[in-house]
Structure 1
Amino acid sequence: MSNVLYSIFPSENFIDLGLYQYGWEQCDPAHSFGPAARNHYLFHYVISGTGTLTAENSRRESVTYNVKSGQGFMLFPHQICTYIADSELPWEYTWLEFDGLKVKEFIETAGLTMNTPIYRPRHKDIAQQMTYEMLYIANHSQESPLHLIGHLYLFLDYLAKSNSSPIQTQGNRMRDFYIKEALSFIEQNFQNDISVEDIAAFCNLNRSYFGKIFRDTVGKSPQEFLISYRISKAGELLKMTSLSIADIGNAVGYPNQLHFSRAFKNVYGVSPRAWRYEQQEKME
């Protein structure tokens, strides 16, 4: 039996929560990775063994942590880190690399930050359910993308529940209400000429305060989120319909085709026409 499972997720069309790569490994003694930085969030759960993680904190200072079985560690986007399995009792771990517009909120609920990256679950029974979801994903790469994303949501739910406290949950309740209201407004009105001021007004909040709690929760400014949401919807229309580029731009809130093409390229790196062609090539 191989001592490693490794898979790359086949689709990147999930904007709220996306999976990138995942797997399981029984590490060799002193096996190491890094120093390197990831583009997305990467969570390791240690099933057995021990090792060390050296990672930057929010002040870009390198801090070393010992991580053993029953614990885990979160790596953050663009954070330089190195992790090394013990030379006598090396790690067996499973991992998921993921990202999305709602990920930052889940991770903060679990109490994980660049300054506190080590996962030490408060509730062992829920941590076991979380581990099951991670291993399920690692062992079912043949399942559909939507199926795997469903299990990724369950993983994040168990991650947050296994390490959250009642005080944390109660303290975030009002902020979460405003963010849900804002997201609902965007989902229902993204195709119209709406601004950040309109979203803040709908929530009955000061624009500055609304922008702060939105970025703190979602990890993007309201304007960045609105653009990402519109472009993700445009991607769906480009892939699933034969509508013209101009019609699709208009349908997602960009009546000016030049502005739409520029915004699309800023997100995907290519023009809408080139992206549609690439997707058609993949489906043939």
Structure 2
Amino acid sequence: MGYHDYRFHSDHSIRTIELKLFYSGFEHCSPGHSWGPALKDHYKILYVHSGQGIYRAGDHTYRLGSGDVFLLTPDAVAYYRADDQDPWTYSWIAFNGLNAELYLRRAHLSVEHPVSHCTRKEALEACFQQVYEASKMSSTRDTRMLSALYGFLSVLIEEAECKHPEAKQDNTQDLYVKKAIEFVHNNYSQAITISEIADWIGLERKYMSKLFKAATGLTPQDYLIHFRISKACELMSNPSLSIGEIAYSVGYKDQLLFSKMFKKLKKQSPSEYRRSS
């Protein structure tokens, strides 16, 4: 790696609908250095460059070393500690987003399988190097860091597909989910229904909803609502748009329904959110 210990934290979270990159870092740990037991409200992946340590998630304890990857999942208690004799050096990247679980599942990482081993050391280290370099930029920092995050997840997904050929069937199902997500992204401003989404990708509604929930953790209807409200939040920064115009722009003809959904997700009314942003 071409850099020393560092930590980067985004003051405003790097936001897209699919993924949000929160922070990243690199550390040469001292002997016995530990974190937890504690939990996060987002995903965090750590990659071990060298040395050893332990990772405890749920009832399982893993002894890890160079090339190992381990995942912290939202609201799950975890603990990790550097070895006393051969402490590890690791990098980490923290993120969340509506599609985070989908990408991680394709990488064969989950609450049930929080640990993996990656043989593509140079590719992963290049991704972390890109994050580090991007953190020093100004105007293009956000897009470059997100690009590095997508690259990082792509490496893990490609590695998983080589190790787990059976995952290719899952990826066919993921393709249906991606097509459903694409339909939502392209048509959220219209009065679309879940049946229309299912018809467009050629699946029965109930089966499509089952695949979608398994891949994203959300029902198609909940995903549509989350996406619309996220787009509404982006539009709030435009002072020339009224709340009613924003509601209509993201697919709500009924402003009262929009305000109800907005407050349910954001714990604030649209007007309160706009004033606090």
In the superposition, the TM-score normalised over structure 1's length comes to: 0.88
Task: Give the letter aligned to residue 232 of structure 1.
Answer: S
Matches within 5 A, 1:181-200: 181-200=179-198
Structure 1 counterpart of 2:127, from 130, 133, 145: 133
CA drift of 1:3 comes to: 6.6
Answer whether contact 2:70 2:115 (CA < 8 A) is retained.
yes
Structure 1 counterpart of 2:205, from 204, 207, 219: 207
- 2-structure distance, mates of 1:120, 1:188: 37
CA drift of 1:139 comes to: 4.7
Task: Give the letter aligned to residue 8 of structure 2.
Answer: S
Structure 1 counterpart of 2:263, from 249, 262, 265: 265
Answer whether contact 1:38 1:79 (CA < 8 A) is retained.
yes
Matches within 5 A, 1:115-130: 115-121=112-118, 124=119, 126-130=120-124
Answer whether contact 1:85 1:91 (CA < 8 A) is retained.
yes
Task: Give the letter aligned to residue 223 of structure 1.
Answer: Q
CA drift of 1:233 comes to: 1.3
- 1-structure distance, mates of 2:13, 2:101: 21
Structure 2 equivalent of residue 282 of structure 1? none
Task: Give the letter aligned to residue 37 of structure 1.
Answer: L
Indicate yes or no: 2:9 matched with 1:8: yes
- SS in structure 2 at match of 1:228: helix
Task: Give the letter aligned to residue 243 of structure 1.
Answer: L
Percent identity, aligned pairs only, is: 33
Which residues of structure 2 form unaligned runs of 5+? Answer: none
The alpha-carbon distance between structure 1 residues 46 and 27, as it changes in their structure 2 partners (threshold 3 A), is same
CA drift of 1:240 comes to: 3.5
- SS in structure 2 at match of 1:235: helix
Indicate yes or no: 2:242 matched with 1:244: yes
Answer whether contact 2:39 2:78 (CA < 8 A) is retained.
yes
Of stretches 83-92 and 259-268 in structure 1, the one that deviates more from structure 2 is 259-268
- SS in structure 2 at match of 1:11: strand
CA deviation string 1:40-90 (max 9, x = no partner):
11100011110001102xxxxx11000111212111111111101111111
- 1-structure distance, mates of 2:263, 2:240: 19
Superposed CA RMSD in Å reads 1.9
- 1-structure distance, mates of 2:176, 2:148: 27
In the superposition, the TM-score normalised over structure 2's length comes to: 0.90
Task: Give the letter aligned to residue 9 of structure 2.
Answer: I
Matches within 5 A, 1:136-175: 136-143=130-137, 144-165=141-162, 167-168=165-166, 170-175=168-173
- 2-structure distance, mates of 1:131, 1:168: 27
Task: Give the letter aligned to residue 271 of structure 1.
Answer: S
CA drift of 1:12 comes to: 4.6
